[in-house]
Amino acid sequence: MFPEWLTYEWFLPETLKSFKWANSYFLFGLLLIPLLILIQWFFGEGKKQKLQLTLDEKTGSVWYAWLRFLPSFFFLSAISMAILALARPQRELSLDEEFSEGLNIVLALDISESMLTTDILPNRLESAKGVAKQFISSRKNDKMGLVIFSGEAFTLCPLTSDYPLLTDYLNNVSASLIKASGTAIGNAIATAINRLRDSPGEGKVIILLSDGDNTAGTLGPETATELAKSFNIRIYSIALGSRSARELDLKTLQNVALESGGSFFEANSGESLISIFSEIDQLEKIKMENRKNRERTDYYFIYLNWAICFILISFLFKITIVGNYLVD
Transcribe 165-182 into DSSP letters.
Answer: HHHHHHHT--TTS--S-S
pLDDT of residue 158: 94
Q: Tell me the C-alpha distance between 307 and 77, whole Å.
A: 7
pLDDT of residue 59: 47
Polymer length of the chain: 328
Q: Tell me the C-alpha distance between 149 and 189, whole Å.
A: 10
Positions in the chain short of pLDDT 70: 1, 40, 44-67, 94-101, 243-249, 285-293, 321-328
Do 243 and 212 form a contact (C-beta atoms < 8 A)? no
Nearest to 147 by CA among 205, 96, 214, 202: 205
Q: Half-sphere exposure of residue 309, counting CA atoms within 13 Å on the CB side?
A: 11
Q: Tell me the C-alpha distance between 102 and 293, whole Å.
A: 21
Q: Tell me the C-alpha distance between 231 and 226, whole Å.
A: 9
pLDDT of residue 55: 47
Can you list the positions of beta strands (E) in the chain?
20-21, 89-101, 104-110, 143-149, 153-160, 204-210, 234-240, 264-267, 287-298
**Interhelix angle for 270-283 vs 124-138, to 10°?**
30
Q: Tell me the C-alpha distance between 283 and 262, whole Å.
A: 9
Nearest to 267 by CA among 146, 149, 169, 132: 132
Q: Provide the residue type at 192 as one letter.
A: A
The dihedral sign for the CA sequence 126, 130, 131, 135:
positive
The order of strands in the sheet holding 287-298 is 20-21, 89-101, 287-298
Which domains, and CATH codes, for the chain? 8-46+64-94+297-327 (no CATH), 103-285 (3.40.50.410)
Q: Half-sphere exposure of residue 17, counting CA atoms within 13 Å on the CB side?
A: 3
Q: 280 φ, ψ to 5°?
A: -65, -40
Nearest to 240 by CA among 267, 222, 215: 267
Q: Tell me the C-alpha distance between 186 and 156, whole Å.
A: 17
**Residue 125's CB: how many other CB atoms inside 10 A?**
24
DSSP code, position 115: G
- Does residue 122 have a cis bond before it (omega within 30 degrees)? yes
Q: Tell me the C-alpha distance between 59 and 69, whole Å.
A: 18
Q: What is the pLDDT of residues 234-278, one digit of tens each?
A: 999 999 887 665 555 688 899 999 999 999 999 888 899 899 998
Q: Which helix (H) or strand (E) holds 10?
A: none
Runs of H (alpha helix) within the chain: 13-17, 32-43, 57-60, 70-86, 124-138, 163-171, 185-196, 221-230, 250-259, 270-283, 300-319, 321-327
